[in-house]
Amino acid sequence: MAKSKNGREQRKSRPRSSPRGDGAVAVRPLNVGILPNLLGYNVRRAHMALWRDFNRTVGTGIVRPGLFSMLVLIDENPGIAQIEIAVQLAIDKATIVGLIRLLQKQGWIERRRSRADRRRQDLYLTAQGRHELATLRREMLEHEARFTNLFSRQELMQFFDFLRRIQI
């Protein structure tokens, strides 16, 4: 046993393994108070479930939902400016520059000087980027289906409406 600062013996508690033998830590039921009735708590829990599944099933390790969204925007809007992407995705300008550099380093996008405004850099997918995006789209749709299939079409449409209401 270890001694604490005040000289008393302290026993270090170790989490107990689950009786199932899967290594999971047995956790006692907790009183969660008002948490289940808080919008933010429930949105965060749902976000974490989506995030874990996304990380397991979509992309090559560097792809995150924001990068996927950027690739879709560039594909759907050839010649888009980085500021337009930043505004659409609510990402600050400094962050968007780093993400664009990462996508360039991967060889998925290219910058071209705008013909309309020489100060502007237009963004385009490369052939490699289009190929990668096609794969990512398939993986993303499979990932999404695992969650959207939990709802009827009407419930899902209503759910999206509710979420958009929050995005004011």
CATH for 114 = 1.10.10.10
> What confidence tens digit (pLDDT) does each residue in 29-72 have?
999 999 999 999 999 999 999 999 999 999 867 899 999 999 99
Query: What pTM did the predictor assign?
Result: 0.78
Secondary structure (H, E, C), 78-135: CCEEHHHHHHHHCCCHHHHHHHHHHHHHCCCEEEEECCCCCCCEEEEECHHHHHHHHH
Inside any domain, residue 12: no
Task: List Cβ neighbours of 142 (8 Å cut-off, separation of 6 or more).
Answer: 57
Q: How many domains does the chain have?
A: 1
**Strand-pair category, 121-125 with 80-81:** antiparallel
Inside any domain, residue 160: yes
Q: How many C-beta neighbours within 10 Å does residue 2 have?
A: 8
Inside any domain, residue 50: no
Lowest-pLDDT range of 19-28, 49-58, 122-131, 135-144:
19-28
Q: How would residue 118 be classed by pLDDT, with cut points 50, 70 and 90?
A: confident
C-alpha distance from residue 27 to each of 18, 71, 162, 164 (Å): 9, 41, 33, 36
| pLDDT value at 98 more than 90 | yes
Per the prediction, the chain carries an average pLDDT of: 87
Inside any domain, residue 96: yes
Residue 14, pLDDT score: 46
Range of the domain at 102: 62-168
Inside any domain, residue 39: no
CB–CB of 18/26 below 8 Å? Answer: yes
Reference 101, options 65, 67, 75, 59; nearest CA is 67
